[in-house]
A and B are shown apart, each in its own frame.
Chain A
Amino acid sequence: MTEVISPATPEQLREAISWALGSKTPLEIIGSGSKKTYGHSVAADHVLDLSKLSGIMFYEPEELVMSVRAGTSLAEIHALLSDKNQQFHFEPGNFPGLLADGVTDHAGTIGGLVASNLSGPRRIKVGAARDHLLGFEAISGRAEDFKSGGRVMKNVTGFDLSKLMAGSFGTLGVMHTITMKVMPRDEKTRTVLIACDDIESAGRAMTRAMGSENEVSAAAWIAREQVGMLGVDIATGIGAGIVALRLEGPAPSVAWRCEALRKLLADIGTSEELHSTNSHVFWRSVADVAPFAGGAGILWRVSAAPASGGAIASKLAAETGGKVMMDWAGAQIWLQLAGRDAMADKVRDIAVSYDARAVLVRAPEDIRNQMSVFHAEDAALARINARIRENFDPEGILNPGRIGQMLTKQGDA
């Protein structure tokens, strides 16, 4: 029978994990469950729900730092930040729509966000959640308190376990307190839109823009049929696929760079400009992968070296008949397939031939559990990963199976 355990303090969290450890009871850890359908199903009857473990510990806008309990909702955090005209610079997307699991009325918790280390379009300039996590406190699978990092911007005091926790999907320890770097919002934002239907030319345009002095903070390509899903009339009005390039910073600088960029890419196609509000709506939609939200189709995410994005995306589209979208200047390619065939071998072969990685983001549970959702690691890396997992969670009680068999202790689950 499923039992939900909802600790409200770090002490209660430790007690819960002590109990699980002592009784060898695997736990499924959830923030708000917005990503339950991402990755593999967890082989656990008991749920450790962190949503009660919430609250702001401190927020010092002048110091650009915020410390919160892990179960705090992103809605609350974003509201607080926006009051002070600040933001998470890695602009997390909002995925409930994308994952289409019926959970649509919340935007997740900060713990879930850090544990999945996923980030929005600005990643190409400022990095992912991992790059903004200054420190954390957690309880490991050994039911021991541990922390790493701190609240300052520069720190090489011992191993950087914050990096290890970011993206670990709750399999090493359960974070209860998270300290993040925050940033002021930019004074001005503009987006250059260039009409471009050809995927490979779009890739080349993004590469040229990124190699220029114009400090592009986001670069995406959206196909003609999908532009309408972004909610920005100017973009739809172009009537073609678009390369979108964002510029942010002080007003005179943004205006100047906008001009420079339009000149630089004049040979690609006609261009338009989105101003601040439209830019915000546009990039929020890109962060949320709006063109592929709500659908039930299978969704892949291919992660590549940026300059190979155009070639990969065009090959994926041609060989699978799916729909593609590129973000991160080509380094992130979304592929949506109609129907129930994940075409895993085909997608992975194409990815691997470009030294890229493919992750199955959305698929019915039976399909997800029949195959490896994540990219298979080579044997030497897998061994190290498995040892880390075992050293932090020897009984395999934290989210067993979540990130695949590779990291799950043999014999568990």
Chain B
Amino acid sequence: MPEPDQSTLARRKDIIAAMRDIVPNEGGVIVDEDQLRPYECDGLMAYRQLPMIVVLPENTGQVAAILKYCHTHKIRVVPRGAGTGLSGGALPMADAITISMMKFNRVLDIDWDNRAVVVQPGVTNLGITRAVEHKGFYYAPDPSSQIACSIGGNIAENSGGVHSLKYGLTTNNVLGVEMVTIEGEILRVGGKGPDQSGYDLLGVITGSEGLLGIVTEVTVRILRKPETARALLLGFNSSEEGGNCVARIIADGIIPGGLEMMDAPAIKATEDFVHAGYPLDVEALLLVELDGPKVEVDYLIERVGAIARECGAVYSRISESEDERLLFWSGRKNAFPAIGRISPDYICMDGTIPRRRLAEVLTGMQVLSQRHGLRVANVFHAGDGNLHPLIMFDANQPGELERAEAFGADILKLCVEVGGVLSGEHGIGVEKRDLMPEMFTEDDMKHQERLKLAFDEDELLNPGKVFPTLHGCGELKTLHAREVADKFPDIPRF
């Protein structure tokens, strides 16, 4: 992380006083070490740092005033939602104010006619569905953390979930945001209609990991809950066959509501934990959910079953009741805690690959597992090619955390090598920022930084995240268009 700025630290008292002026509410400014402690990390608990102070504003005006103050006095800011992020995006800094958005917890407007809901960013992902389910609607993106994570954090990470294959990621379901820039300006981007003017700022704000501004209001679209959902469990003797089956289903024009896969270690761990009735003698287990009108679901279940047989499925079960469907899911949904039971610690990686390279990547992971001497289990969003390898280790054994991290980095490099990317849904944060050069050239990264500089010239918002450490935007500011020769002889002219 960037070195703490001593002059900021020296001004801590003044800063606290200024924050108390802006947010006079009880508990709005946290300064005591024991009360700061809960904020020292997000879901990536290997990295910890106490924030300088934590501020909990309650309205957009307060956010604007805080940011304006920080901009004027050159104080760094770390935005924070529910702190469930898995890439360290909300990791505090010793010289920065952490702004927690969790007091922004109201649903502001449910517009049934436009199928749009306006909420404050601290509302949880599931909270949106809860607000609209009595009329048969729901909010589609469903990260496994949906009970806890905030919609503001979802926007910052462009979060996805099981439903993303069919219904898209956060970016496809957000209609508009209100956002405060580091200069304290309030931007409204998008709205209840599909179009915005100018460049697609809504598109770049989504997934920007708190580096462009603080989101203070969100408009999302809601969908009608499908009439029926049914699931199939399909077992295969190899991950190759499982992977082929995924490709065949999709190439056939069937886009399931969920299409998840688990490898043998993950199947075993979850079956021991939740007893979902998973077969233990298969190498790959697919969980396919079809949703829609009952006639459609019944029809597609047949077709998927037939495709699975052609792909060599050795196990096949179809849910006959809602309870059974939920039982099928219980294993997948509990995969993380199940791994937690068989290993003192684990880290969850997150890369995406072209679907057809799946078997190859899984084999590669086994080789790496032996090389690093650590176990790995795989549960993933097979339909999108989004992998979540769970690397098991024991933090109490000297060197194991480092080995786990090195293993994780090797897996991500492998993903990039086969044409994939470093993150499918958890973001880069601090966790993967030094791997960015695996995917991007200097010039690629400079263009990303130029976007950042258009919003935040002094790099006060969430510094140290996303961009490799030795790669601040600073030097860009003096960069001038390079002079070039005025000849390009080999291009045809007319």
Which A residues are within 8 Å of any B CB, using their own CB?
3-8, 12, 15-16, 18-19, 21-23, 52, 60-65, 117, 123-124, 127-128, 130-131, 140, 142-148, 150-164, 166-168, 172-173, 183-187, 207, 210-213, 215, 249-253, 256-257, 260, 303-307, 328, 331-332, 355-357, 374-378, 380-382, 384-385, 387-388, 390-392, 394-395, 403, 406-407
Contact = CB atoms under 8 A, between A and B. Distances in A.
A117 B194 CA distance: 12
Interface in B431-456: 432, 436, 439-441, 443-448, 450-455
Contacts of A163: 171, 200, 202-204, 206
Contacts of A65: 354
Contacts of A5: 491, 493
A306 B193 contact: yes
Given A6-B494, A146-B447, A374-B197, A152 B419 contact: yes
B296 interface: yes
A154 B169 contact: yes
A160 B158 CA distance: 10
7 contacts: A6-B493, A142-B482, A154-B425, A211-B224, A250-B296, A251-B299, A387-B454
B295 A157 contact: no
Given A128-B194, A159-B452, 7 more contacts: A142-B482, A154-B385, A159-B204, A172-B199, A184-B251, A257-B293, A406-B198
A19 B207 CA distance: 35
Given A127-B172, A391-B453, A156 B484 contact: no
Nearest to B224: A213
B444 A147 contact: yes
B386 A154 contact: yes
Max count, chain A CB within 10 A of own CB: residue among B114, B169, B201, B492:
B114
B414 to A, nearest CB: 14
B419 to A, nearest CB: 6
Given A158-B436, A164-B204, A384 B454 contact: yes
B198 A407 contact: yes
Nearest to B211: A159
B421 A152 contact: yes
A211 B115 contact: yes
Given A146-B444, A150-B420, A210 B296 contact: no
A252 B169 CA distance: 28
Contacts of B444: 145-148
Contacts of A249: 292, 296
Contact of A152 (B201, B247, B385, B446): B385
B448 A159 contact: yes
Contacts of A388: 199, 450-451, 454
Interface string B156-191: 011010001100110110000000010001111101
A81 B136 CA distance: 37
In the A-B complex, list the 10 residue pairs whose CB atoms are closest, starting with the nearest.
Answer: A163-B203, A253-B296, A184-B253, A305-B192, A22-B484, A307-B113, A391-B450, A387-B454, A15-B488, A303-B195
Max count, chain B CB within 10 A of own CB: residue among A131, A159, A183:
A159
Interface residues of B, number: 107
A158 B193 contact: no
A19 B385 CA distance: 41
Nearest to A382: B198
Contact of B490 (A12, A167, A303, A328): A12
Contacts of A211: 112-113, 115, 224
Contacts of A159: 204, 207-208, 211, 448, 451-452, 466
Contact of B197 (A146, A164, A376): A376
Contacts of A375: 197
Contacts of A22: 482-486
B381 interface: yes
A152 B352 contact: yes
A151 B171 CA distance: 17
